[in-house]
Chains A and B, each alone.
Chain A
Amino acid sequence: MKSVAFGQYYPSNSVMHRLDPRVKIVIGIFYIVASFLCKNVLSFALLTVSALVLILVSKIPVKIVLKSIKAIIFIMIFTAILNIFWTKGPEENLILHWNFINIYVDGIYNAVFIAVRIISMIIGTSIFLTYTTTPIELTDGLERLLYPLTFIKVPVHEFAMMMTIALRFIPTIIEETEKIMSAQKARGADFTNGSLSKRAKALIPVLIPLFVSAFRRAGELATAMTCRCYRGGNGRTRLKVLKTTYRDYLALFFIAVFGAAIVLLNIYAPGYTM
C-alpha cells in the first residue's frame, strides 16, 4: 500500500516534467478549450496528432495512458451510440434505413469526433496535470496562480497549506488504517465475508480509532507548527521559487500556435463540419 502513487505521478525527466507547474495548469485549461473548439475533420485530426505528440514528449508509456482511457470507455461508447442513432442529417446523407432506425453519415462523424475529443482531453489534462506534475508542485502552482485572489480576501495560502498537509498525511493515515485493521483482525474481526451491511458495520471499529487518532495528530501538528513560528502566509518566504524559463515560453508559444491552427482549420478546411 505504501507504494500507491498519488495523483498517478509518473517520475521521469522529460521536458514536460520540467515545465513550470503554473504554465502547465494554464496550458492544460487552454488545451481543454481548444478541444472544444474543434469542428471539422482536419481540426480533429490535428487534435489527435497533438495528443500523440504529448505522449511522445512526456515519455509516458502508452500502456499507462491507455489505462486512464479505459476508465471512461463506457461513457465513450454510450455517447457514440447516442450520436450514431440520434443525429439527423440531410436526406442525401442517409446511409442506413431500417424500420425506425435511420443512420446518417453525420451521426458517424459526430460519434468519432466526440470520442476523439474526450480521449484527447483526458490525455491532455492527465499529461499536463497528473502524470508529469507532482501533487505538491500542483498545489504550489495553484497557490501562485491564485495569489491575486488574496486581494479579495480569498484565503489562498490557507487552502494550499491544507492541501499540502493532506498530501503529507495520506500515506501516514493509510499505514495507520492497515495497522488498526490488522489489530481488529487479530481480535477476530471479519472484513471480507458477509453481506454488504455486515461488512460496512465491521468497518466502524476501524473508522472510530482512525478518526480519534487523526484529531490527535491534528492537534499535535498544530502545536509543532506553532512552535516553528508558523503564523499564516503573511511575511512567509519560500525555499523554492517557481521559475519560468525559455522552455515555458516555448510551451506557451506552441499552445498558442496550436489554438490558432485549430481556429483557422475550422474556418478554412473543407469537409464535414459539426
Chain B
Amino acid sequence: MSFIKIRNLKYSYKDDEGSPLGIIRDISLDIEKGEYIAIVGHNGSGKSTLAKLLTLVVDDYDYLEGSIEVDGVEITSDDMTEDGIYDLRKKIGMVFQNPDNQLVATIVEEDVAFGPENLGLERAEIRRRVDDALATVGMTEFIRHEPHRLSGGQKQRIAIAGIIAMKPECIIFDESTAMLDPIGRRDVVATMERLNKEDGKTVINITHYMDEAVRADRVIVIDDGKILLDGTPAEIFAEVDKLRGAGLDLPQCTDLTIRLKAKGIDINGEINTPEQCAKAIAAALGK
C-alpha cells in the first residue's frame, strides 16, 4: 500500500466574485515510503496547493473533490477529527519558503524544540531530539545563537531541524530554496538528500529550479492543475517540447547538450547532471 494515495483530486478557490477557480483539476498520484520526489511546475500550476492539502493547511475544504489517503487514513474524509489532523501533521512535516516566517523562538535550540514540545514529549527526549536534529543539519555550533543573526540558508536549516525533531516519515519542502543564495541552496538540498538516503525519509521537494529536480529519483511535472509528466529525471527531461509548453526551463546541462547537438556535435547518453555532461563532452572531444 502506498504511503500517500491521491485519487481524482480536485480543488478550487472562490475568486472575488464567488465563483470557484480551479487550482487542482484532476490529480491521481501514489507516493511510496522512502521516495525522493521533485514536483515542478510554473507559478500557479497548483503544486504548492497540493502540498498544503497533504497536511490540511488550506483555509477551506468546501471546494474539494476526490480523496487523499496518508498511511491508510483518508484525510479528506468528513469524519477527520482534530486528533486525526494532529496525527497527520506528525507524519508529514513541511518546510516553507521564507525561513524568517517559520521560526518561532529567539534562540535556535528553543525553536527546534518547539515541535517536540507541542508533541508533549519528555524533557530528556526533547533534548536528545534537538541535539540530533541540529547535528543532522550541521548546525550544532549555533545551538545558542539568535536566529535573526544567521544567514538565510542557515535559518532554513534550523527550520528543517525543527521538522526533523518531530520525526515525521515524510518531509515536504515547499519552495524552501527559492529565497536562498546559491550556497544556502546547496546546503539545503544536501540536507534533503541526506535525510532521504541516510534516514530513509520520504522527501518531496517542490521547486522551480530544474537543477534541483534533476537530482531527485522521480520528477512530477504539474501544469494547470494536472499531472503532465511523471517519471525519472532522464525520462522527464527528454520531453523537451512538453516541458517548454508548460513554461518550464530545462536543466542547464540538458539545455547545453541540446544546443550542441543542434550545432551538429555528436554527444550521447543520458545527460542531466553536470558530471554526466562533463563526461559526455570529454568523450565527444576525444573522438
Q: Within residues 139 to 174 of chain B, which ones have a CB less than 8 A from any CB in chain A?
A: 146-149, 159, 162-163, 166
Q: Are A168 and B166 in contact (CB under 8 A)?
A: no
On whether the beta carbons of A227 and B120 are closer than 8 Å, the reply is no
A223 partner residues in chain B, CB cutoff 8 A:
52, 57, 96
Query: Which of chain B's residues 74-101 have a Cβ closer than 8 Å to chain A?
Result: 82, 86, 89-90, 93-94, 96, 98, 100-101
Indicate if A171 sits at the interface (CB-CB under 8 A). Answer: yes
0/1 string, B101-128, CB within 8 A of A gives 1: 1111111011001111111111100110
In the bound complex, what is the Cα–Cα distance between A219 and B99 (angstroms)?
Answer: 14
Q: Which of A215-244 contact B (CB under 8 A)?
A: 217, 220-221, 223-231, 235-241
Whether A167 sits at the interface, judged by CB under 8 Å, is yes
Output the residue of B104, B113, B115, B159 with the most chain A CB within 10 A: B104
Residue from A167, A237, A239 in contact with B106 in the complex, judged by beta carbons closer than 8 Å? A167
B101 in contact with A226 (CB, 8 Å): no
Is A227 a contact of B122 with CB atoms below 8 Å? no
Chain B residues within 8 Å of A217, by CB: 98, 100-101
Inter-subunit contact B126/A237 (CB<8 Å): yes
**A236:B117 contact, CB within 8 angstroms:** yes
Pairs A-B, 6 closest by C-beta atoms:
A239-B113, A220-B101, A224-B102, A171-B148, A228-B115, A229-B118
Interface residue total, chain B, C-beta cutoff 8 A? 43
A199 to B96, CA, bound (A): 38
How many whole Å from B215's CB to the nearest CB in chain A? 25
Q: Are B118 and A175 in contact, CB atoms less than 8 angstroms apart?
A: no
Asked if residues B130 and A239 are in contact (CB atoms below 8 Å), the reply is: yes
Q: Is the CB of A229 within 8 A of B115?
A: yes
B89 near A227: Cβ-Cβ < 8 Å: yes
Task: Find out whether the CB atom of B148 lies under 8 angstroms from the CB atom of A164.
Answer: no
* B interface list, Cβ under 8 A from A: 52, 55, 57, 82, 86, 89-90, 93-94, 96, 98, 100-107, 109-110, 113-123, 126-127, 130, 146-149, 159, 162-163, 166
The interface centre, meaning the residue of A167, A227, A235 with most chain B CB atoms within 10 A of its CB, is A227
A227 in contact with B86 (CB, 8 Å): no
Q: Does A67 contact B (CB under 8 A)?
A: no
B104 in contact with A229 (CB, 8 Å) = no
Q: Using CB atoms, name the residue of chain B closest to A161.
A: B104
Cα distance, A134 to B149, chains bound together (Å)? 17
A236 to B118, CA, bound (A): 5
Given A168-B147, A229-B115, A230-B114, CB of A239 within 8 Å of CB of B100: no
Which residue of B100, B114, B127, B148 is within 8 Å of A228 (Cβ)? Answer: B114
Q: Is A252 an interface residue (CB 8 A)?
A: no
* Smallest CB gap from A224: residue in B: B102
Q: Is the CB of B100 within 8 A of A172?
A: yes
- Residues of B near A175 (CB, < 8 A) are 148
- Which residues of chain B come closer than 8 Å to A237, judged between CB atoms? 116-117, 120-123, 126
> Could you show 12 A-B contacts with beta carbons less than 8 Å apart?
A135-B106, A136-B107, A164-B105, A167-B106, A168-B106, A220-B96, A220-B101, A221-B102, A227-B93, A227-B94, A236-B120, A238-B126
Alpha-carbon distance between A165 and B103 when the two chains are bound, in angstroms: 9
Contacts of A220 in B (CB 8 A): 96, 98, 101-102
